[in-house]
Amino acid sequence: MKDINAPELSLGVVGAGAMGSGIAHVAALANITVHLFDNRDGAAAKARDGIAARLIKRAEEGKTSRETAALAVACLRVADSLEQLADCDVVIEAIVEDLELKREVFRRLESIVPARTILASNTSSLPIGAIAAGLAHPERVAGMHFFNPVPVMRLVEVISGPDTTEEVLAALTALGRRLGREPVAVKDTPGFLVNFGGRAYTTEALALVHENVATPAQIDAVMRDCCGFRMGPFELMDLTGVDVNFPVTRFVHESFFGDPRLRSTPFHRYKLETGQLGRKTQRGFFDYREGAVRPSPDAEVSTPPARSVVLAEPDAALAALARDCGAAVLATDDGTSPILAAPVGEDCAAFACRTGIDHRRLVAVDLAADTSKRITVMTAPGADPTVRGAAIALLATAKAVTAIADSPGFIAQRICAMVANLGCEMAQMGLAQPNDIDTAMRLGLNYPKGPLELADAMGVGTVFRILSEAQRLTGDDRYRPSQWLRRRAQLGLGARVV
C-alpha cells in the first residue's frame, strides 16, 4: 500500500457523472494523477474537459493562480477501459446506486488491479459489506462517501465494511484530508450518517403539512428565521429533487424496519408520482415557473392590535414581549383580552385542559426559538377569531408573525427536537463519535448546529419534554425519545457526554 501523501499517488475514478467529476476535480487540485473512466462513450473526456474549463475560468477570475489551474489540468487523464486503471493506488467507484452494478464493477476491478490497490465506493446508502461480499480481498474495500457538489462540500464519510482493515481506513482518512475534505469515520449502516440523520428535518416538516398545521412556506420561513437554517426543508427538497430525497427516505425507513421516526408522508410520494420534483421540473413543493408567486408565510393583519393581554402562567419573557409590542399586561383577567401562553411540547387544547383557562381566548406563542425576526403563534379549535386577530396584530407591530393550527410543539420545537433526537439515536447506535456526528451534519447538510449541539442549545431536558409531550398527545411512537437523550435528561447531562 503506497503512502497516500506520496507525490506520485495515482487515483482511478469509475463514473464521470457529477460525483465522479467532482472527486476527480478535487484530486487534481491536490496534485494527484487522476484516471477517469466511464463506460458511456465520450463521457470521461467530456467530464475532463468540463473540469479543465472550470479550473481555467477560476484562474481567469483570480480565484486561483494560473499555475495551480495548469498543474491540476495536467493531472487529469481519460481511461478508455477499466484495464487502464491497473496501476492506480486507489480506485473510487462513483456510478449509479445499483448494488448489482457496483458488485460487478468491484469484481472486475479485483481482477485488474494489484493487491496493494485500495478500492472504495462513493455509495450514499448501499452497505459496503454487501458491495464487498464475494470478493477475494474484501479487506481492502471501504466506503468513501463525498457530498455534492464535491468541490464545495468539505465532508467525506469513511465507512468500514466487516472485513476492512485499519490500514485501509487510515489511508482513506489521509486521502480525504489530502483532498481538502473533513473525513468522519462512520459505521456501515443504511444511509450511513448524514443520509440517515438528515431524515428528521424533512420528514417532520412533511408531518406538519400532513396534519394541516402549516404550509410549506410557513414552515420554511420559521426554520430560516427562528432556527438559523440556511434553507427551509421544502426549499431543500425542491433543490435536491423529490426523485432523490423520496427514494432515500423510503430506503432508510424500510432498512430500519419501519421505525416511525423515519417515516415520510403520502404527500411526499405524491410529488414523485406526479412528476413535481422541484426546481428541475419547475414545480415541486413550490412553483418555479415564470410569473409564479410564492405564498406568504406571514399572518394577515385585519383587526386592531390588542391593548391588553393576560398571561396564562407567570412568564417574564412573554410579559416583556407583550409590553415591547405596546400592550398592558393585566394582573387579573378582564374576560375579553387575549390570554397569552408559551407552552413547551403542548398544544393549545392540552394546555387549556390542564390549566382550565378559556381556550377561545388562548393564543400560544413559541418562545423556545429565536423571536428576533419572526414569531409563531397558534390557537385551539373554536378560538375567537377577533381575539386571535387582535393578538396577531399586536405581535405584528414588532415582528413578522406566522399563525398556525394547533400542534404539540409548534413548528420549530417539533422539527428541532426531532433533529436532535435522531442525532442522539445515532450516538446511541455508535454510528460515530458525538463530535463527529455534529461535524458531519454541519458540513454535510449545512445545519447551523449539529444535532447534539442543538440538543445542548435547546436544553436536553427541554428536548426530552417536547418529545415526551408529543408522544403522549399524539400516541405516535414517532416521537419516542432516544435512550441516549432520556438518560442524559434524567441525569442533567449534556447530549455530548459519553
Residues 6+ away with beta carbon under 8 Å from 159 = 128, 142, 143, 144, 145, 186, 187, 188, 192
Domains of the chain by range and CATH?
A: 10-188 (3.40.50.720), 195-281 (1.10.1040.50), 308-404 (3.40.50.720)
What would the mean pLDDT of 449-474 be, rounded to a whole number?
98
End-to-end alpha carbon distance in the chain = 35
- Residue with the bigger pLDDT between 148 and 176: it is 176
Per-residue pLDDT, averaged over 122-144, amounts to 95
| Rounded Cα distance, 421 and 464, in Å | 8
* Tens-digit pLDDT profile for residues 15-48: 999 999 999 999 999 999 999 999 999 999 999 9
Q: Would you state the cell numbers that stand for residue 129, as one nine-digit string?
A: 459489506
Classified as helix, coil or strand, 211 is coil
Mean pLDDT of the chain: 97
Indicate if the alpha-carbon torsion angle 404, 406, 412, 414 is positive or negative. Answer: negative
> What's this model's pTM, rounded to 2 decimal places?
0.93
In tens, the pLDDT along 72-114 reads: 999 999 999 999 999 999 999 999 999 999 999 999 999 999 9
User: C-alpha angle with apex 387: 383 to 393, nearest 5 degrees?
Assistant: 125
**If pLDDT is split at 50, 70 and 90, which confidence band does 125 have?**
confident
**pLDDT over 90 at 1, yes or no:** no
Name the one residue in this structure whose C-alpha cell is 421505525: 259
Distance of CA 364 to CAs 404, 405, 437, 468, Å?
10, 10, 34, 19
Per-residue confidence band for 356, with pLDDT thresholds at 50, 70 and 90:
very high
Cα(170)–Cα(52) distance, integer angstroms: 30
Q: Write the pLDDT tens digit of every residue in 138-169.
A: 999 999 999 999 999 999 999 999 999 999 99
pLDDT at 351: 98
**Per-residue pLDDT band at 2 (split at 50, 70, 90):** confident
Q: pLDDT for 304-342, tens place per residue?
A: 999 999 999 999 999 999 999 999 999 999 999 999 999
User: How far, CA to CA in Å, does 2 sit from each of 11, 51, 128, 136, 183?
Assistant: 11, 26, 22, 20, 19
Catalytic positions, written as ranges? 124, 145, 157, 195
State the Cα–Cα distance between residues 228 and 385, nearest whole angstrom. Answer: 31
Write down the residue that cell numbers 442533567 correspond to.
Answer: 492
User: What's the pLDDT score for residue 379?
Assistant: 98
Q: Is the pLDDT of residue 70 over 90?
A: yes
**310 contacts: CB under 8 Å, gap ≥ 6:** 329, 330, 332, 333, 334, 337, 338, 339, 340, 361
